[in-house]
Amino acid sequence: MRFNLVLDVPDVPGQLLEVLEPMGRLGANIVAVIHQRDVKTERGTVPVQITIEGDKETLDKVMGALESKDIQILEVDGVLRKEQITTVLVGDIVEEDLQDTVSKLNQLKSVKVADLDLKMSDEPKNSATKMVIEADFGLRKEVLKNIKKLGAEKGFLVINEV
Amino acid sequence: MKIIILGFGAVGQGVARVISMKKDYLKNKYELNPQIVAVCDRSGAAICETGLDEELLIQTKNDTGKVALYPDYGHPDIDSLQVLDEVEYDCLVEVTPTDIDDGEPARSHIMKSMEDGKDVVTSNKGPLALSFQDLADCARMNGVEFKFEASVGGAMPIINFAHETLAGCEIESIYGILNGTTNYILSRMANEGSSYEQTLKEAQEMGIAETNPYQDVEGIDAACKIVILANSVLNLPVTLKDVEVEGISKITSESIALAKKEGLLIKLIGEASPDALEVSPRLVRLGSPFAVEGTLNVATLKTDLADDVTVVGKGAGSVETASAILSDIVSIWKIRK
């Protein structure tokens, strides 16, 4: 059987090899690799498309190995594994402990803040932060609920996606 | 068809104007001959059983501010409920100013009319947002038509569109920009990078925002509309107090700039879905159907068969809103004739 994967790989030397290594080691055949370094995500990572072939057991082992190496699997056979949720918070972001805000969002299993942009204002309560949160597919509702709850606790205006 | 218009502000005058403009068209196309037999405002009424002159009504209102000064047929000492009692008519057009505390006087006007067996068309959000189910029950019990297309999105077709054009589809949820004033302010802030306070002031000077902009900018107006859609399209028996409302007054130019960097815009979105009944600022993607500018309204209906269907239109304006009222009048005529 075959798996078509889309992996999210950091744009630093040696990363592609890192991704391919468990495939070779565990005995999966690599059918195709599409790696275009100049096509990047907003976070500067490179989406790599790889097709691998093998029996189910081998392929499951490969998936397990990728996950244990913390390699982000974005898609399997066209089905999204991860999704990104963008949110903007308005309020006294720094005074309300930004680190705590992020770690509270990270608490949910397989959810992490992948990108954060902060814009300070002369008026501290007008400051804003934009966060890109990565979560396993299907967790969107729960993540949005958490963001709202957090916003209410810290007095932020929460602006979620539609 | 004999019509009484209660309320003669921008929308009421718009109704008189479109009836005057479309006389021949309505006669040729539908054999409909609408006659305005009475008009009331705060000053009293103008009443003529054989039909008032639409242009003279508008002129009288513009010149004097009072329909009671309509030549020969003006009645300064009569109130609207008396007019409903004494004048013979087929259809009430209720377009008095919206009141979101008790829905009056519109609620009483509509109830009385329906109890008297008359059809009703309204653009008035107040009574619909506060007691939709009572009004719908009252219409059903009395066997009358009750239509309110103009109450949501002005000229943008949505309620009749959902019921008639999308008949057969189950509508799962509705998302929309339902307030033109806030959309104008947010669009300007995104384009100019200006602050909320400054942009609001500018909108007020241009007559786009009202002197007291509270109901628009705090999302109350949009919340009323989401209640009407939830009831009439999704059959959810909710009222204004069930809506979670957050307006746009806390939106800063910083937050808009951050969103823009990511290819996103901030819009005041109303949502009626099984998950939520809310009005709040939300992120929408540039190039998506929600990325409309100016005072436009837009709504997306998520359906089971047709997938997403989006409508866009002018959310306010005298003749534009009156166009929706006229379409309701024509629908009633088609049923009654």
Q: What is the pLDDT along chain B (337 residues), one digit of tens a residue?
A: 999 999 999 999 999 999 999 999 999 999 999 999 999 999 999 999 999 999 999 999 999 999 999 999 999 989 999 999 999 999 999 999 999 999 999 999 999 999 999 999 999 999 999 999 999 999 999 999 999 999 999 899 999 999 999 999 999 999 999 999 999 999 999 999 999 999 999 999 998 999 999 999 999 999 999 999 999 999 999 999 999 999 999 999 999 999 999 899 999 999 999 889 999 999 999 999 999 999 999 999 999 999 999 999 998 889 999 999 999 999 999 999 8
- Give the tens place of pLDDT for each residue, A120-154: 988 888 899 999 998 988 888 889 999 999 999 99
- CB-CB under 8 Å, B259 with A159: yes
Fold type of domain A2-80:
Alpha-Beta Plaits (3.30.70)
Is B225 noted as a catalytic residue in this protein?
yes
Using DSSP, state whether A25 is helix, strand or coil. helix
Please give the C-alpha separations between residue A32 and each of A4, A8, A48, B177, in angstroms, as whole numbers: 9, 16, 10, 45
Residues of A in contact with B284 (CB under 8 A): 161-162
pLDDT of B252 reads: 95
Euclidean distance between CA atoms B137 and B141, whole angstroms:
6
Euclidean distance between CA atoms A104 and A131, whole angstroms:
13
Within a 10 A sphere around the Cβ of B259, how many other Cβ atoms? 25
- CB-CB under 8 Å, B262 with A121: no
- CB-CB under 8 Å, B269 with A162: yes
End-to-end Cα separation, chain A, in angstroms: 38
Q: Is the CB of A160 inside 8 Å of chain B's CB atoms?
A: yes
Q: Give the amino acid at B8.
A: F
Domain spanning A82-160: which CATH class is it, in words?
Answer: alpha beta
Residues of B in contact with A86 (CB under 8 A): 262, 264, 283
pLDDT of A42 reads: 67
Residues of B in contact with A161 (CB under 8 A): 264, 282-284
Q: Give the amino acid at A105.
A: L
Complex ipTM > 0.90: no
- Min Cα–Cα distance to chain A from B158, Å: 19
Q: Which residues of chain B approach chain A closer than 8 Å at the C-beta? A: 175, 246, 250-252, 254-255, 257-259, 261-262, 264, 266, 269, 271, 275, 280-284, 290
pLDDT of A122 reads: 87
- Catalytic entry in B125, B225, B267, B314: B225
Considering only CA atoms, which of A160, A155, A69 is closest in space to residue B264?
A160
Euclidean distance between CA atoms A20 and A30, whole angstroms:
8
Please give the C-alpha separations between residue B113 and each of A93, B121, B143, B306, in angstroms, as whole numbers: 54, 11, 12, 37
Domains of chain B: 2-155+318-336 (3.40.50.720), 164-314 (3.30.360.10)
Question: Which helix (H) or strand (E) segment is A116 a member of?
Answer: strand A111-119
- CB-CB under 8 Å, B255 with A128: yes
- CB-CB under 8 Å, A128 with B283: no
Euclidean distance between CA atoms B293 and B4, whole angstroms:
36
Euclidean distance between CA atoms A31 and A41, whole angstroms:
24
What does pTM read for this prediction?
0.85
Same fold for the pair A2-80 and A82-160: yes
Partner-chain residue, chosen from B257, B282, B290, that has the shortest CB–CB distance to A119 = B257
Tokens of B274: 């099984």
- Profile chain A (162 residues) by mean pLDDT over runs of 10 residues: 91 91 93 88 84 93 90 85 90 91 88 91 90 89 91 94 90
Average pLDDT, chain A: 90
Euclidean distance between CA atoms B178 and B36, whole angstroms:
30
pLDDT of A78 reads: 80
Partner-chain residue, chosen from B246, B252, B259, that has the shortest CB–CB distance to A130 = B259
Q: Is the CB of A127 inside 8 Å of chain B's CB atoms?
A: yes
Which residues, 6 or more positions from B6, have their beta carbon under 8 angstroms from its beta carbon?
B12, B39, B40, B80, B83, B92, B93, B94, B95, B96, B106, B109
Q: Which residue has the tokens 């972001």?
A: A93
Considering only CA atoms, which of B273, B275, B267, B266 is closest in space to residue B308?
B273
Strands B91-94 and B119-122: parallel
Which residues, 6 or more positions from B290, have their beta carbon under 8 angstroms from its beta carbon?
A162, B175, B177, B265, B267, B269, B284, B298, B300
pLDDT of B272 reads: 97
The structural domains of chain A, with segments of one domain joined by +, span 2-80, 82-160
